[in-house]
Amino acid sequence: MIGTMITPAPPDPDSASFAYDEMAFFGENCTEYSLPVPDDYLVRRMNLGLRDGGHVSALRWGEGSPRLVFVHGGAQNAHTWDTVVLALGQPAALCVDLPGHGHSSRRDDGRYDPRSNADSLAEVIQSEAPRAAVIVGMSLGGLSVNALAAHHADLVRRAVIIDVTPGVNRDKAKDVTDFIAGPQTFANFSEIFDRTVQFNPTRSVESLRRGILHNAHRLSDGTWEWNYDRRQLGGADPERFGDLWADVSASTCPYLLVRGADSPVVDDDDEVELLRRRPDARVVRVEGAGHSVQGDRPLKLAEILRAELG
């Protein structure tokens, strides 16, 4: 475990003295959301080899077998859940970097569709969190958890899906896909920061700055580049993923959809279709949240998850 005390604000990321430390920002998360600041943070980075020769990386929080597993959206990484986990009191949790994202390896075939992701997730959960009480997935991660629940049902006791259904299409996800399809490299940190702020008007600048530092890196010539594999993601069309509604129909675990009230990604017709296929599903709308509920309203999401664990 790594004990990380609050550190002074890091220098300008374009400064020659700047050195990224992924464990150095938790104090900022706590301060921004008025959370108690722990004396230390029970978190470590781990890597797990996959049968296909690649590896999946994850942040393992707390002690003991994880009760929660978190799966991020496309072009994100495991740190998108930091504030939520801190608000929950650092429970035993596993925050996974999907293949091609964060510290996980890229797939040779460039396939990052939900069913391919689900097979990789199944290996990780079987090994590291076989008794997890709740699996949480957002956006691409939510579609991947749907596939996991359908094809690896023994690993999913309860699913919380954040702001996505198989009804997503290019029009509904336009803001998301436009952002992902943008430049891969930027002349300096200010450029990558300004573009991120432009596409995320509901987020604080502090959280966006942290998010970029967790999701991009500075090259030797001083330019900045996104970490994630852009093959498939930048031009991904959710409608080409296949009949993912069938995965929803095939799942049997308790199912909660968390909608961002200000997000266009899930509409009322999607909710109707979900309840037609899963009449026992529940839906919660989070006011003041867009597509990234964990980024816009992390404390509210922690409250929802606390109830699911209870």
The full set of domain ranges for the chain reads 28-309
Q: What is the side-by-side strand order in the sheet with 216-218?
A: 185-186, 224-226, 216-218
Q: Can you list the alpha helix ranges (DSSP code H) found in the chain?
A: 26-32, 82-87, 114-128, 140-151, 174-180, 189-199, 205-215, 245-250, 268-277, 293-296, 298-309
In tens, the pLDDT along 46-60 reads: 999 999 999 999 999
The yes-or-no answer on residue 291 being catalytic is: yes
pLDDT at residue 5 greater than cutoff 80: no
| Entry pTM | 0.94
User: What CA–CA distance (Å, rounded) separates 6 from 294?
Assistant: 22
The mean pLDDT of 235-258, rounded to a whole number, is 82
Q: Which of 82, 291, 292, 296 is catalytic?
A: 291
What is the per-residue pLDDT for 310? Answer: 87
Q: Which of 82, 97, 113, 163 is catalytic?
A: 163
**Both structure tokens of 91:** 């429970």
What phi and psi, each to the nearest 5 degrees, are found at residue 32? Answer: -60, -35
In tens, the pLDDT along 166-223 reads: 999 989 999 998 998 899 999 999 999 999 999 998 888 999 999 999 999 999 999 9
Q: Which fold has domain 28-309?
A: Rossmann fold (3.40.50)
Q: Which of 104, 139, 144, 207 is catalytic?
A: 139
The mean pLDDT of 92-118, rounded to a whole number, is 95
